[in-house]
Amino acid sequence: MIRIAVPLLVAALAAAAPAQPPAPQASEIAIGPEGHQLRGTLLTAPAPAANARPVLILAGSGPTDRDGNSPMGIRAAPYRLVAEALAQRGITSLRVDKRGIAASAAAAPREEDLRIRTYADDARAWARELKARTGARCVWMLGHSEGALHALMAAQDNPDICGLVLVSPAGRRFGDIIRAQLTANPNAAGIRPEAFRILAELEAGRTVPEAGMNPELLPLFRASVQPYVISMLAVDPPALARSFAGPIEIVQGTTDLQTSVADAQAIQSARPGITLRLIDGMNHVLKVATSDRQENFGTYANPDLPLAPGVVDAIAGFMLSR
């Protein structure tokens, strides 16, 4: 009988096993004054790809955190999954909690003082920080949903920015989106006339008294949020895309129930050279879903679902080719 010493056998098996790729390094970073800091996660790629530049990931609307989750029932973690997949492709990323959200809660302004420019200015500050920490010549910005507007605004006349990836962006003015949503909702028939009247006033830059307002409209039009809504109504996404000369890629899912292929096409048509990548069957949280509302929105609360096939390849391929 042939006998092999156990230590030698273990050593031989270990030598034959394929080496595991190094894991990306996650670091918590902060900017801003003590007690009012903005915070995020820097995920450093273990083996940077050729031509790789770091990317800043900007969250969408509402109380969305750096991972893409929200206390409003969203636990799909799309930003974390994108960051981890990009790291495996050699791209370092920084994903951040918005001002007033999650670990950046201490930096919350008064609601009356918040403007969309606030988030765009924060994006500019984070881009400078990411560039300084990585030593990159410039950095990319990836904005999701409303975060795409923050990216477009922050990129204007900004030499720190290599280019933009706009994922599930709104391609229309905010007022047009609200009108379309109210028109499509049969339960909103009773409040449409008042909502449209308020919208017209806000689009003209005039606030509307809250007293006597239909209670159903207060979540959108309460007095304290009207300054922010006015700032949003003034933003024209295609115009911002037209005035940014750097590379832009739009990534849009075909089963997204919050933004549409038409939104993506509206931005693409702003000027020549903008790339549009449609991901078949991808919804707003970057997961595979049908257009059935219940099934589609059900993916928002499922952290175990992987990203839709092709979405990371579209993002990484565009950034690495520029």
What is the tens place of the pLDDT at every residue in 198-223? 999 999 999 999 999 999 999 999 99
pTM: 0.91
Shared domain for 113 and 180, answered yes or no, is no
Cα separation values, 138 from 16, 57, 162, Å: 41, 15, 5
User: 3-state class of 220 per DSSP?
Assistant: helix
Q: Is the pLDDT of residue 171 over 60?
A: yes
Torsion on CA atoms 203, 207, 212, 214, rounded to nearest 10: 40
- Whether 97 is in a domain gets the answer yes
- Whether 220 is in a domain gets the answer yes
Shared domain for 83 and 156, answered yes or no, is yes
Confidence of residue 186 (pLDDT cuts 50, 70, 90): confident
Shared domain for 154 and 222, answered yes or no, is no
Shared domain for 248 and 214, answered yes or no, is no
- Whether 6 is in a domain gets the answer no
Shared domain for 88 and 162, answered yes or no, is yes
- Number of independent structural domains in the chain: 2
Taking phi over 0 as left and psi of -120 to 50 as alpha, with beta for the rest, 321 belongs to alpha
From CA 52, how far away is CA 225, in angstroms rounded? 40
Shared domain for 166 and 281, answered yes or no, is yes
Shared domain for 253 and 311, answered yes or no, is yes
Q: Is the pLDDT of residue 25 over 90?
A: yes
pLDDT tens, position by position, 142-152: 999 999 999 99
Average pLDDT over residues 305-310: 98
pLDDT of residue 18: 59
- Residue 123 belongs to domain with CATH number: 3.40.50.1820
pLDDT of residue 95: 98
Confidence of residue 11 (pLDDT cuts 50, 70, 90): very low
Shared domain for 197 and 310, answered yes or no, is no
Torsions phi, psi for 187 (to 5 deg): -75, -10
Query: Which neighbouring-strand residues pair with 25?
Result: 44
Shared domain for 88 and 180, answered yes or no, is no
Shared domain for 149 and 298, answered yes or no, is yes
User: 3-state class of 43 per DSSP?
Assistant: strand
DSSP character at residue 282: B
User: 3-state class of 301 per DSSP?
Assistant: helix
pLDDT of residue 17: 55
Token code pair at residue 270: 């702003």
pLDDT tens, position by position, 232-259: 999 999 999 999 999 999 999 999 999 9
Instruction: Give residue for tokens 């990216």.
Output: 151
pLDDT of residue 8: 47
Query: Which neighbouring-strand residues pair with 38?
Result: 31
Q: Among the listed ranges 121-130, 154-163, 184-193, 279-288, which one has the minimum average pLDDT value?
A: 184-193
Shared domain for 100 and 133, answered yes or no, is yes
Q: Among the listed ranges 4-8, 191-195, 252-256, 273-277, which one has the minimum average pLDDT value?
A: 4-8
> Domain span at residue 200?
176-229
- Whether 128 is in a domain gets the answer yes
Q: Is the pLDDT of residue 4 over 60?
A: no
Q: Is the pLDDT of residue 55 over 70?
A: yes
List the strands of the sheet with 248-253, edge to edge.
25-31, 38-44, 93-96, 55-58, 139-144, 161-167, 248-253, 275-279
Shared domain for 130 and 196, answered yes or no, is no
